[in-house]
């Protein structure tokens, strides 16, 4: 379990153990007050004082023991329950009339603290064991138990088992959630690595394969080997979606394997970054950049990821539409979000082509664009009509992009 899982478990269990510690102290005070205001009925008050003194010293001295499941050991639980049972069984010795009336025992409801400790430590089975011993001790102490005695015993038994069961369910839910968080973190890391590989290694391999095939001779063999490595690497980063037997020649040169022009920097300034400076290199003879007059400030990581997504979108323009196509980048800085739109006048993307490319492991749009925006808490919307160009709208919420 990672740090987040451990912290989550502590956040659930720690309040329960704290509540148990407070309960033990309060019920000790309650048992002492019962004796103080009813000591006239005790034939042997010294026995009651002795039992309560042991309970007080034990409760205060062992408060750290009920701070967590790790510190609440089995020996502690055994001694704690033994003190509670002894106090119950010694009640008739201090109060000779205890067996003829339904008054409280010497430990009174302090005994429930021992049962709750069993429930928090070991679940409903441990709670059932401890509450059963307490039930037997109460029945023996009464001699001739009444219906109220059986009622109280049954109530404690059912309640303790229910609490133990709830604790087990909570722990199982914590483990499941912790595992889900681990899987989510691993998935996000894999997607991040896949984007980095797509933006660099895969695109270089694809370029080597195409140039080698065009040049022929020894270069063709080099291109073939580069194509094989490209296919194997795509299969790895896409989770095995690409069959290993697929040949490089079967991979068409599309927007998903175009060389990236913008690569996000691995490190940068700690303060906010002006998105305009990262997008400025995109502008050229056939790429028009329209931006606000004021700086568009974002957190460094968010700005670099958004710029990389724009770079991936421009790569798609070049691959789909060719070098003759024109593209326009529009940056909009709103109070609650930053929107970057990339539009081209190319032939557009055929219906179903993106899904087909993703199924083949060519994750340019899925990872380099949508994946990046998803990790930033934003969204990427793509609109393409064959013969009418393509428009990609990248939106990043201000509250998430600035963190």
73-130 pLDDT per residue, tens: 999 999 999 999 999 999 888 887 765 666 788 898 899 999 999 998 988 899 899 9
In this structure, are residues 201 and 320 in contact, taking their beta carbons and an 8 Å threshold? no
Higher pLDDT pick, 209 / 3: 209
Query: pLDDT value at position 352?
Result: 62
Query: pLDDT value at position 57?
Result: 96
User: What span, in angstroms and rounded, lies between the C-alpha atoms of 279 and 294?
Assistant: 14
Match 């055994």 to its residue by tokens: 78
| Predicted confidence band of residue 2 (pLDDT cuts 50, 70, 90) | very low
Closest CA to 394 of 335, 321, 343, 318: 343
In this structure, are residues 261 and 310 in contact, taking their beta carbons and an 8 Å threshold? no
- Per-residue b or e along 360-391, where b marks 16 or more CB atoms closer than 10 Å to that residue's CB: bbbbbbbbbbbbbbebbebebebebeeeebbb
Average pLDDT value for residue range 142-164: 78
Q: What tokens were used for 248? A: 């490089």
Query: pLDDT value at position 154?
Result: 83
* pLDDT tens digit sequence for 157-215: 888 888 888 888 888 887 788 788 887 777 777 666 666 655 566 667 767 777 777 77
Higher pLDDT pick, 207 / 334: 334
Query: Does 28 score more than 60 pLDDT?
Result: yes
Query: pLDDT value at position 241?
Result: 40
Q: What tokens were used for 369? A: 């664009």
Residue 341, SS3? strand
Query: pLDDT value at position 338?
Result: 94
Query: pLDDT value at position 68?
Result: 84
| Predicted confidence band of residue 376 (pLDDT cuts 50, 70, 90) | confident
Closest CA to 362 of 184, 197, 188: 197
Higher pLDDT pick, 236 / 387: 387
Average pLDDT value for residue range 314-324: 77
Query: pLDDT value at position 371?
Result: 80
| Predicted confidence band of residue 226 (pLDDT cuts 50, 70, 90) | confident
| Predicted confidence band of residue 26 (pLDDT cuts 50, 70, 90) | very high
- Averaged pLDDT of the chain: 78
- In the sheet that holds 379-384, the strands lie side by side as 287-290, 327-333, 337-344, 390-397, 379-384
Query: Does 287 score more than 70 pLDDT?
Result: yes
Q: With residue 327 as reference, give the H or E element that holds it.
A: strand 327-333
Q: With residue 85 as reference, give the H or E element that holds it.
A: helix 74-89
User: What span, in angstroms and rounded, lies between the C-alpha atoms of 368 and 118?
Assistant: 53
Query: Does 282 score more than 80 pLDDT?
Result: yes
Neighbours of 67 (CB within 10 A): 14
Side-chain half-sphere exposure of 184, counting CA atoms within 13 A = 10
Query: pLDDT value at position 363?
Result: 46
Q: Provide the β-strand partners of residue 338.
A: 333, 396
User: What span, in angstroms and rounded, lies between the C-alpha atoms of 17 and 19?
Assistant: 5
Higher pLDDT pick, 268 / 229: 229
By mean pLDDT, which of 115-129, 135-149, 213-227, 344-358 is the weakest?
344-358
Percent of the residues in the chain that have a pLDDT greater than 70, as a whole number: 74
CA angle at 313 for the pair 307 and 316, rounded to the nearest 5°: 145
Query: Does 384 score more than 60 pLDDT?
Result: yes
pTM: 0.49
């Amino acid at each position: 379990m990672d740090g987040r899982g451990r912290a989550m478990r502590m956040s659930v269990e720690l309040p329960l153990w704290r509540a148990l510690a407070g309960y033990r102290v309060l019920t000790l005070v309650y048992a002492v007050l019962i004796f103080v205001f009813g000591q006239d009925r005790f034939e042997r008050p010294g026995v009651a004082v002795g039992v309560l003194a042991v309970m007080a010293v034990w409760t205060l001295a062992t408060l750290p023991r009920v701070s967590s499941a790790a510190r609440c050991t089995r020996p502690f639980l055994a001694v704690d329950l033994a003190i509670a049972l002894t106090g119950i069984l010694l009640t008739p010795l201090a109060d000779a009339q205890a067996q003829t009336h339904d008054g409280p025992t010497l430990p009174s409801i302090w005994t429930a603290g021992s049962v709750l400790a069993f429930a928090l430590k070991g679940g409903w089975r441990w709670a059932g064991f401890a509450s059963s011993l307490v039930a037997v001790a109460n029945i023996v102490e009464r001699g001739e138990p009444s219906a109220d005695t059986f009622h109280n015993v049954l109530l404690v038994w059912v309640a303790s088992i229910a609490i133990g069961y709830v604790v087990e369910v909570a722990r199982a839910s914590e483990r499941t959630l912790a595992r889900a968080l681990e899987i989510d973190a691993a998935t996000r890391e894999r997607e991040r690595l896949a984007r980095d590989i797509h933006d660099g290694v895969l695109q270089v391999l694809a370029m080597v394969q195409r140039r080698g095939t065009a040049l022929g001779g020894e270069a063709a063999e080099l291109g073939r080997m580069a194509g094989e490595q490209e296919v194997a690497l795509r299969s790895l980063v896409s989770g095995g979606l690409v069959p290993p037997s697929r040949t490089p020649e079967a991979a068409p040169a599309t927007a998903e394997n175009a060389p990236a022009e913008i690569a996000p920097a691995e490190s940068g300034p700690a303060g906010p970054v002006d998105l305009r400076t990262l997008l400025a290199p995109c502008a050229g003879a056939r790429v028009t950049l329209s931006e606000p007059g004021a700086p568009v400030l974002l957190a460094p990581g968010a700005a670099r990821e958004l710029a990389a997504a724009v770079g991936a979108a421009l790569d798609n323009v070049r691959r789909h539409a060719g070098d003759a196509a024109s593209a326009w980048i529009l940056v909009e800085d709103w109070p609650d979000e930053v929107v970057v739109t990339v539009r081209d006048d190319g032939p557009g993307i055929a219906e179903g082509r993106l899904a087909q490319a993703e199924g083949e492991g060519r994750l340019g749009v899925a990872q380099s664009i949508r994946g990046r925006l998803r990790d930033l808490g934003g969204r990427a919307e793509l609109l393409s009509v064959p013969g009418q160009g393509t428009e990609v709208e990248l939106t990043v919420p201000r509250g998430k992009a600035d963190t």
